Amino acid sequence: MKKLLIFILLIISFEKGFSQTSKGDSRTELRQREAKLAVFAEDMINEKHWYLRFYADSVFTRGLVQALKVKNSFSYPFDSITTISKLYAPDSSFRIFTWQMMKDYTYYRQRGAIQMRTKDGSLKLFPLFDASSFTNGPNDSIRNINNWIGAIYYKILLTKDGDKNVYTLLGFDENGPRSNKKWMDILTFDEVGIPHFGGDYFKFEAPAKDTVKNRKPVVRYSVEYKKESKLRFNYDKNAQMIVYDHLISEQNEPENLYTYVPDGSYEAFKWTNNKWEHTNKLPSIALTNGNAPMDDAILNEDGNVNQQKLEEMLKKNKKLQLEEMKEERKPEKAVKDKKQQVQQTPPQPQNEY
């Protein structure tokens, strides 16, 4: 109870701090805001109780928006905030923030925002709202920022369709209690600069006999696999392909994707004639050093967030939640206690949100 009260008071204190504008230059202000944001970025992943994680996420989100409103924030890296993904497009026309929230091991939601580069350094921001749980066909429709199929992105590729820029996003989704997903999505911008997700940029060969994938037209691609498995899904520069593990059901239950594990062979996508053309079987000799692409320890050579690090962070989140479920105290009672503490806290000045 005492820890809960201290946590709430810290949040109120930090929120108040966010509302005070620094008198220094924009970079000094951004460093100050980043230091405060980093606290909540950690809490929204590592706090034991789900309601504290979600509260920290709310404060973090509002604080991030305010930080991005600082002039010329686009070039500021926010390096000390390590629990979210921050990726710049290869042409530096935008960057995208993504992260994941977990209530329990059955409930995952992604958060995100696209920050555009502007000539005058002002903020142009597109918030992303995860609608994955509200659709039965996430692979077959063009999406906008209000019904985004959420993922934590770890790679952005840039290709061309004539004069049009086509950005390919590779992402991770913890999905559910028995399986994870890797996503390959398309991002384009229309003539007025509005982002759209998905596109007619996938081409498949006839399906192999050992796969259950139904090769219907798709505008984004996903692979679902067993929770405990490690799936490689990344771009190989030497091969100039997106390469990933070929999957089979370890229990001979092809209808159950949560039983799928890598079998030692590989599939790939190669950009050809303005399409990502799929290859069902890829000899390993075609890959860098004869192996599938491996992630670097912390960051890859382009400075992008390492997907393995993200997965490890999310597994830690799951462990914390399982510990919470073993406690006798139910979340509903904890929420009630929190409300009582908030009611006892003296009123504070309104913040800038």
CA-based R_g, the chain, Å: 22
Q: Answer yes or no: do 159 and 257 share one domain.
A: yes
Q: Answer yes or no: do 262 and 168 share one domain.
A: yes
Q: Answer yes or no: do 257 and 227 share one domain.
A: yes
- Output the pLDDT for position 264: 87
In whole angstroms, how far apart are CA 196 and each of 153, 193, 219, 319? 16, 9, 11, 35
Q: Answer yes or no: do 76 and 98 share one domain.
A: no
Is the CB of residue 176 less than 8 Å from the CB of residue 253? Answer: no
Domain termination site, one of 250, 269, 292: 292
Q: Answer yes or no: do 51 and 179 share one domain.
A: no
Residue 352: inside a domain, yes or no? no
Residue 353: inside a domain, yes or no? no
Residue 247: inside a domain, yes or no? yes
Residue 298: inside a domain, yes or no? no
Residue 149: inside a domain, yes or no? yes
Q: Answer yes or no: do 21 and 114 share one domain.
A: no
Cβ-proximal residues to 301 (8 Å cutoff; 6+ apart), any chain: none
Instruction: List the domain range (segments joined by +) for residue 41.
Output: 1-83+306-345
Q: Answer yes or no: do 152 and 277 share one domain.
A: yes
Q: Which two tokens stand for residue 226?
A: 């067993």
Q: Answer yes or no: do 97 and 213 share one domain.
A: yes
pTM: 0.76
The Cα–Cα gap between 353 and 341 comes to: 22
pLDDT in tens, the chain (353 residues): 554 555 555 555 544 544 444 434 799 999 999 999 999 999 999 999 999 999 999 999 999 999 999 999 999 999 999 999 999 999 999 999 999 999 887 789 999 999 999 999 999 999 999 999 898 889 999 999 999 999 999 999 999 999 999 999 999 999 999 999 999 999 999 999 999 999 999 999 765 554 545 556 799 999 999 999 999 999 999 999 999 999 999 988 999 999 999 988 899 999 999 999 999 877 654 455 444 443 333 334 444 445 565 556 456 555 554 554 554 344 445 444 544 544 444 444 334 33
Q: Answer yes or no: do 52 and 116 share one domain.
A: no
- Output the pLDDT for position 37: 97
Q: Answer yes or no: do 195 and 331 share one domain.
A: no
Q: Answer yes or no: do 54 and 97 share one domain.
A: no
Q: Answer yes or no: do 255 and 314 share one domain.
A: no
- Output the pLDDT for position 205: 77
Residue 318: inside a domain, yes or no? yes
Residue 62: inside a domain, yes or no? yes
Number of domains making up the chain: 2
Residue 135: inside a domain, yes or no? yes
